[in-house]
Amino acid sequence: MNHIPIGLQLYSVREAMAQDFLGTLRQVADIGYTHVEFAFHNTSNDGSFEVGYTAQELKSNMEQMGLQVVTSHVSYHPNLDWDQVIRYHAELGSGGVVLPGYFFKDKDDALRLAEWLNASGKKCRAEGMDFYYHNHFHEFQAFDGQTIMDILLENTDPSHVLVEFDTYWAMRAGVDPIAYMDQLGNRLGLLHQKDLSASASPVNLFELEQVSGVLTPEVVFSTVKPEDFVEIGTGVMDIPGILKKAEELESVKYIILEQDVTTKSELESVRESYQNMMKLLK
């Protein structure tokens, strides 16, 4: 069986990268990672897309390290120059761009975002890149009896908008990740994988009293504790089953490891996850 390539979401080492961007990339490469996904979340502040390196400079440095960019998370902002984002990633040699989440007041919000996703995905496709939506748990909230995820999938073009499925966050919504992977089928292009602590309670965050009504970022991210996130292979998620299903679907291009938060140092955490994932793939 040919295993799907493993990558790292660099949000996992954001504090280290803020101190030493290129040095942290070298340390990631030294661990053994060959594929990475950037996290350009600062665009949500005012819509400015500023990296600090030209695409050619960053690409050259990464090539010297043996690193390849898979995709980047680029946060939504109404003033974001999407054409600039696409040009940068095309020059960087990226395989695509990911919208790393959105927060919804009602069904109309979801329908409006679906229109934006279609338009943005069409622009990416014109440049030979894929475009993805990445879920957290709140997209499984229902509006008028239909989950946000289903609204987005139903109202976006499968040829322009794919899904980067975060199995951890789906599980925190009370969703069976493997069953949902089947439901996504060939719309599942990328997989985000982390692990859930056995002590996390409740697993389904919708059971919490404060998780109702409009789920703002403050509500969503106040529901989880650092100790709920553990390194790959040390928690309760059925990662072997998820890997098996990803292989079966044949649409998954990369499995990207991510550690939203950790009780360890960032680089120690991503090293442990990488080593444990390599053992699972043997």
pLDDT tens track for 70-117: 999 999 998 999 999 999 999 999 999 999 999 999 999 999 999 999
1 confidence band (pLDDT: 50, 70, 90): very low
Closest alpha carbon to 136 in 98, 176, 165: 165
Choice among 33-47, 139-153, 180-194 with the minimum mean pLDDT: 33-47
Choice among 121-135, 184-198, 211-225, 260-274 with the minimum mean pLDDT: 211-225
Tell me the pLDDT of the chain averaged across its residues: 95
* Owning domain of residue 204: 6-281
- Residues of the chain with pLDDT > 70: what percent? 99
Question: How far apart are the C-alpha atoms of 39 and 41, rounded to whole Å?
Answer: 6
The answer to whether position 246 is within a domain reads yes
Q: Omega into 240 within 30° of 0, i.e. cis?
A: no
- Residues of the chain with pLDDT > 90: what percent? 91
In this prediction the pTM is: 0.96
**DSSP code of residue 251:** -
The answer to whether position 152 is within a domain reads yes
Query: Is 1 exposed, middle or buried (CB count within 10 Å of its CB: 0-12, 13-18, 19+)?
Result: exposed
Choice among 32-36, 78-82, 134-138, 264-268 with the minimum mean pLDDT: 78-82
Q: In this predicted structure, what is the pLDDT of residue 11? A: 98
pLDDT, tens digit (0-9, with 9 covering 90-100), for 21-33: 999 999 999 999 9
pLDDT, tens digit (0-9, with 9 covering 90-100), for 232-265: 999 999 999 999 999 999 999 999 999 999 999 9
Question: How far apart are the C-alpha atoms of 251 and 173, rounded to whole Å?
Answer: 24
Count of structural domains, the chain: 1
The answer to whether position 1 is within a domain reads no
The CATH number of whichever domain residue 276 belongs to comes to 3.20.20.150
Beta bridge partners of 8: 36, 257
Q: From the CB of residue 178, how many other CB atoms can be counted at a distance below 10 Å?
A: 16
47 confidence band (pLDDT: 50, 70, 90): confident
Beta bridge partners of 36: 8, 69
Question: Would you say residue 44 has pLDDT above 80?
Answer: no
Q: In this predicted structure, what is the pLDDT of residue 2? A: 61
**DSSP code of residue 231:** -
